[in-house]
Structure 1
């Protein structure tokens, strides 16, 4: 397979992953599917890991990956003097941006899962809003989830959406890392499946 065609496949795969992460981040602003005041939204949601890391920063590598099928053959952006090797080499930079963005999303999601959601719970005789699982291993003890009185279902909501974002981010990071290797191989080997020669023969 051409290195450019393979990069295009990676770019196509990144699109739905980015959409899923953005949607998950948006849903996290509605804990348990409820509309609450901003002060009652888990802090990590505001870091916008899914929107910025797995969403906005993927705007850079995705179009580059999609265009490499043509760029790595007879130059980049239709400019034959640019050279297919440079096109593949430059894709490494954009792939690195993708890795950083996905890594940011994964880091925020992991921290949020470890910390647990912000919710209303009883502390002694008082009912307060805070993070009840900071000193509790709620991931291995599902019985603790009932500590959160409001919003209803916030623990499941928090855990499932941040888990999806983390998994999607990990996949994005792997795909972008693969393109780093693919871009390097394309730059070194100049593998183009002979499309330039085919076009030249057709003229």
Structure 2
């Protein structure tokens, strides 16, 4: 495949991933579809890092011009998503807002033991909410890193070997 066609293919594939990342990050600010959690400061810490909006969104748009920035943005989004999946959501347990799964002392992990999810009483279904959206961010970010890395390699080959431009071949 010519370097120009490859670039076009990658750009077309990145656009929907960017939109998905931005939407996921925005929706994460409204657990249970409610704005009061954000207003009261009861949002999972990693949501505030805006990995999907900054890393998977804005920096990924810049990747069209700077594929290396896109790789960095995708890696940032991956790190934030993994941290969030590891730490679990901020939720109300009893009367206190906490991250109950962050420092579990026993061998169980909330991702493997669904019975622990009942520790979170508010917002409703926050564990599933975070798992779904941060899982989606993780998947889209991995694809973005692969595509941007491919774009970097494609650009390198384009610089070293030239493009497949028919006009350039005639001259």
TM-score surpassing 0.5?
Answer: yes
Specify the SS of the correspondent of 1:152.
coil
What do the CA deviations read for 1:160-185 (whole angstroms, capped 9, x no partner)?
Answer: 10110011011001100011111111
Aligned equivalents of 1:16 and 1:195: distance in 2? 32
Aligned equivalents of 1:38 and 1:180: distance in 2? 43
Indicate if the aligned counterparts of 2:91 and 2:122 stay in contact, CA closer than 8 A: yes
Alignment correspondent of 1:135: 103
Aligned equivalents of 1:197 and 1:190: distance in 2? 10
Question: Which range is displaced more, 155-164 or 185-194?
Answer: 185-194
Alignment correspondent of 1:194: 166
Shift of the alpha carbon at 1:128?
Answer: 0.7
Extract unaligned runs of 5+ from structure 1.
Answer: 65-93
Cα 1:38/1:7, change in 2 over 3 Å: farther
Are 1:46 and 2:48 an aligned pair? Answer: yes
User: Highest Rg: 1 or 2?
Assistant: 1
Extract unaligned runs of 5+ from structure 2.
Answer: none
Alignment correspondent of 2:157: 185
Aligned equivalents of 2:76 and 2:20: distance in 1? 16
Q: TM-score, normalised by structure 2?
A: 0.91
Q: CA RMSD in A?
A: 1.4
Shift of the alpha carbon at 1:195?
Answer: 3.6
Aligned equivalent of 2:127, options 147, 155, 160: 155
What do the CA deviations read for 1:54-85 (whole angstroms, capped 9, x no partner)?
Answer: 111122222x4xxxxxxxxxxxxxxxxxxxxx
Shift of the alpha carbon at 1:193?
Answer: 4.0
Alignment correspondent of 1:107: 79
Aligned equivalents of 2:134 and 2:70: distance in 1? 19
Cα 1:185/1:197, change in 2 over 3 Å: closer
Aligned equivalents of 1:191 and 1:149: distance in 2? 58
**Runs ≥4 in structure 1, deviation > 3 angstroms?**
195-198
